[in-house]
Amino acid sequence: MSAVPAEDAVPAEDGAVPTENSPAGDLRSAVAGLDLKPALEAVLMVVDEAATEEHLAKVLQRPRRAVAVALRELADEYTVQGRGFELRLVAGGWRYYTRPAYAAAVEGFVLDGQHARLTQAALETLAVVAYRQPVSRSRVSAVRGVNCDGVMRTLLQRGLVEEAGAEPETGAILYRTTNYFLERMGLRGLDELPELAPFLPEADAIEAETQEGLPSFDPDAPDAPDTRDADDQTEL
């Protein structure tokens, strides 16, 4: 038999000599029996950094030269087929990338969560904060008639509201809208808000229904039960 060139030799596990009947030997036999191109695709789908030909050859129990040829053929096939992704050789290894021609589609998908519409519960809560600011969480809950802890946390995370100190009498945290809120609403200032405040209860009217001595809202605390908003968990 002729000797196998060193660069085409199938790499072995470091320091391991698996027998045919051992679990490692069974796995190696199973991997070696796979079709090379689909196996490469499967592995490259889960890598978090470019994979070298040597590493892929070791994992798939194939000669490095065969792996290198298969990778280049796959890259050419994707280009000919006009796929939305491509296989690139970068930094000494191979990895999938989205094709530049479809960058707009990827950008739209990535930004969709940030530009999604506010839920009804979030809009109601944001409106109360906008017209009553600075306002405590308990007063917002009183106006809406439902616990608003979860929605307030979402608005804080989205940068639409922020803390504005504490109420002197009770120590309750106060909240106000942010400059980002004005930008998203297309307003130069709060004085450009529509005339909706007259339709909201006056502070004196809800004072008796609130208990400002309750612990201040903790953004990191678990959500309190909110039956009305239980199904309103859409990411904003």
**Same domain, yes or no, for 31 and 95?**
yes
**Same domain, yes or no, for 198 and 153?**
yes
Q: How many CB atoms lie within 10 A of CB 159?
A: 13
**Same domain, yes or no, for 86 and 168?**
no
Number of domains, the chain: 2
32 within domain boundaries? yes
Q: Which residue has 């942010």 as its token pair?
A: 178
Contact 11, 57 (CB under 8 A): yes
217 within domain boundaries? no
> 228 to each of 152, 172, 224, how far by Cα in Å?
15, 24, 12
Smallest CA-to-CA distance from 140 within 212, 38, 60 is with 212
Provide the CATH number for the domain around residue 17: 1.10.10.10
In angstroms, the CA 126 to CA 152 distance is 8
The pLDDT, as a whole number, for residue 198 is 57
Q: Which residues lie closer than 8 Å to 181 by C-beta, 6 or more apart?
A: 126, 130, 160, 161
27 within domain boundaries? yes
106 within domain boundaries? no
**Same domain, yes or no, for 97 and 171?**
no
> Beta strands of 157-230 (E only): which ranges?
161-166, 173-177
The pLDDT, as a whole number, for residue 25 is 65
The pLDDT, as a whole number, for residue 150 is 86
Q: Which residues lie closer than 8 Å to 186 by C-beta, 6 or more apart?
A: none
**Same domain, yes or no, for 68 and 128?**
no
**Same domain, yes or no, for 88 and 121?**
no
**Same domain, yes or no, for 127 and 196?**
yes
The pLDDT, as a whole number, for residue 147 is 87
**Same domain, yes or no, for 126 and 185?**
yes
Contact 94, 86 (CB under 8 A): no
* pLDDT tens digits for range 39-58: 999 999 998 888 999 999 99
Query: Each residue's pLDDT tens digit in the chain (236 positions)?
Result: 444 444 454 544 444 445 555 566 677 778 888 999 999 999 999 988 889 999 999 999 999 999 999 999 999 999 999 999 999 988 789 999 999 999 999 888 777 655 567 788 899 999 999 999 999 999 999 988 888 888 998 899 888 999 999 988 888 899 999 988 888 787 888 888 887 655 555 545 544 444 444 444 454 444 444 444 433 443 33
224 within domain boundaries? no
Domain containing 51 equals 6-101
The pLDDT, as a whole number, for residue 42 is 94
184 within domain boundaries? yes
95 within domain boundaries? yes
Smallest CA-to-CA distance from 155 within 136, 185, 175, 173 is with 175
Instruction: Provide the token pair at 198.
Output: 């007259």
214 within domain boundaries? no
The pLDDT, as a whole number, for residue 114 is 58
